[in-house]
Structures are given as C-alpha cells and as structure tokens.
Structure 1
C-alpha cells in the first residue's frame, strides 16, 4: 500500500445519516452500531486535532420519492416516526460540529455544504455513514464532480446488503479516491502531516 497521510487543515470528516431511522436498519456487512462506533471514533480523533466534523441528516418524511421499480419506501407507507430524522444519541454530535440537513440521498444538492467546505479551504473529504451505496455514494459522486479528493472509511459505513457495500467500495470508491479502514485513518490522523 502506498504511503498515506492526511493534511488535517484541508480535510473534513463528513458522516452521513447517523440517525434514529437508520439505526434500526438491518445492514451488511457491518451493523449500524458497529458503523456508528467507528464514525464516533473518527469524529473524536478529528476534533482532538482541531479538524472539521460534519454530520448530515435527512428529513425522512420530506425525502424525495419519484416513481421507482424498487422504492425504499412503498407508496402509501406510513410516515416515519417524528424522531426518525434525529441524530442517534450515541452519535455524539457536538456544538462545534457542522450539521447539514438534506431532503435527498446526497448531502450537496440544495444544502450549504459546498459553501461551508470551501470557506474552510477544505480539499479532502473523509466519508462514512449509512447507507454505503445510497447516501454515502450519492454524496461522494457530487463531491467528486466538484473536485474534492475523497477518502472512504470502509468499516465506518454499511449497505442494505453486503454485496451493495462491497460493489461500491471495491469498484466505484476505488476509482474516485482511497478506501481505508477506520484504524488506518486514525493512524494517518495521528501521524499528522501530508496530503490525503
């Protein structure tokens, strides 16, 4: 594996949809709780070193749902409970973290995320969250199109199926950026300098 390092001053951690409505999902290959634990570890490491941490949540009852062959939510399904769009308490969102609210899978469209990142001179995004091939991948594609360097925390995300997760991590994400484990990312953050 190539030398890997992270320039903390130009890097942000972006965590997707770590909210109550997703914590109850059956995910693979990692459980929602396992993903949450790794995301929390990454966020703590970034904060300790003065890095930017962004938490993104989707308003589940306002999520767009155009006609689809296999919609995630069946037409006429009851509304999500009021707290489904709230961050899971264990996510540990802090007052210094940036919070982005969205109404679609990706975190860029219709939000202030790009503007906030550019004002902080962020060039690299570390991505994690739920679900790998939906919210994380949609956000990654938009970030890639905007010229951000991407790093994917492979075990700090999970899919609705293991196959979907692995397909994104082994194919799409490797073509867009670098795929690393939480432990590798924490080692790189602790090492301190260089380019992501």
Structure 2
C-alpha cells in the first residue's frame, strides 16, 4: 500500500549506513540508498522532525547458537556513519548490538518523548536491520513507512521478498520522491 499520509509527528530512522556496511556488495547501488537517505534527512530536519541515525557496533552478548562476528577484526572506522548523511547535533544517534534498533537502545523512549507515532525507514540491509527494526516498531504500535528505493540488501531476491511479502503486513511502502513531496507540501 502506498503512503496515505505523512503524520505531523513522523520520524526518519536510517539503518546502518556506516562505512563498514556500505562497503559490502548489495543488491542495489548503495550510493543511491545513501543519497536518498541523506535527502530525506535534510527534509526531515528542515521540518523540525526527528532524524535517527543507527549504526551497529557489535553483536548481542551471550549468543551461542552461531559464531558471533569479531568486530575487533573490522577496520577502525567500520561503525562510523557515512559522511553523506551530514549528521547534525539535533540527530539522535543509536548504536545497536542486535539486528534491530529497538532492543536495549532506548529508542522507543526517545520517540515517545517526542510524540512520534509514525516512522519512516531507510537503510541496509532490508532483511536484517530494516526488517528487524520494523518488526519492533510495529510491536510498539508505530505506523511504518518503508522507503523502498532507499534500502538495499545483500540479496536482490531477499530484498524483493521483504518489500512484496513482509512489509505490506506492517506498513505502507513508497518512494523517496513521494515522501519528499509530502514533507514539502
């Protein structure tokens, strides 16, 4: 379902557009995902709406079912956000240690303290960070907008599956152009 309305108290959440993640091969040009997410961030800031920049800096502690990645082996700048996002002091930063941005981060408290009822999601990877964040947001009662041309995955088939089969169950799906038009209306 396309975007029906952009609520006056929406927030933008950008998932894992960081140097280490964006260096990985993904299904769609990551430069487009970064550019569209940055454009949305500028528009949200211009309207005085919250922008949340999420990065991942390690795995959840205590996992034993699979080998955990050793983040100390990644480059020192792995978790740094890409400069194109032009992070601002007013942006809320979330460093996560799980697939989604809600567990253990205080994100729900931050959003509720600002009266946010709708979140707009972009980022990488569609089936991991974005989808996990969306599932938690849905469970917390937020209205969700997925910006389909501002996300990518390691697999084109997996990306398409989330866009066509999972996301319609949780929210609305539209493009950067449509969300920007609603912000500027």
Number of aligned residue pairs: 183
Give 1:3 deviation, angstroms.
7.1
1:49 — aligned with what?
47
Q: Find the counterpart in structure 2 of residue 39 from structure 1.
A: 37
Deviation at 1:85, TM superposition (A): 0.6
Determine whether 1:172 maps to 2:172.
Answer: no
Which residue of the other structure, out of 84, 89, 95, is the alignment partner of 1:95? 89
Question: Which residue in 1 is equivalent to 2:112?
Answer: 118
**Deviation per CA, 1:34-64, whole angstroms, max 9, x where unpaired?**
10001001001111111110001110xx213
Of 89-98 and 110-119, more deviation after overlay is shown by 89-98
TM-fit CA distance, 1:78: 7.0
Unpaired segments ≥5 residues, structure 1: 192-196
What secondary structure, in the 3-state scheme, does the structure 2 residue paired with 1:139 have?
A: helix
| Partner in structure 2 of residue 18 of structure 1 | 17
Tell me how far 1:180 sits from its aligned partner: 0.3
Distance 1:126 1:169, change over 3 A: same
Question: C-alpha offsets along residues 58-113 of structure 1, whole Å, 9 cap, x if unaligned?
Answer: 10xx2135434xx795xx79711111011111221111111011111100000010
Distance 2:3 2:16 in 1: 31
Structure 2 counterpart of 1:27: 26
Normalising by structure 1, we get a TM-score of 0.88
In structure 2, stretches of 5+ residues that fail to align are none
Report what 1:194 is aligned to: none
Match of 2:59 in 1: 63
- CA separation of 1:163 and 1:72: change in aligned 2, threshold 3 A: farther
The DSSP-based 3-state class of the residue aligned with 1:85 is coil
How many Å separate the matches in 1 of 2:56 and 2:3?
Answer: 35
Residues of 2 paired with 1:100 and 1:18: CA distance? 12
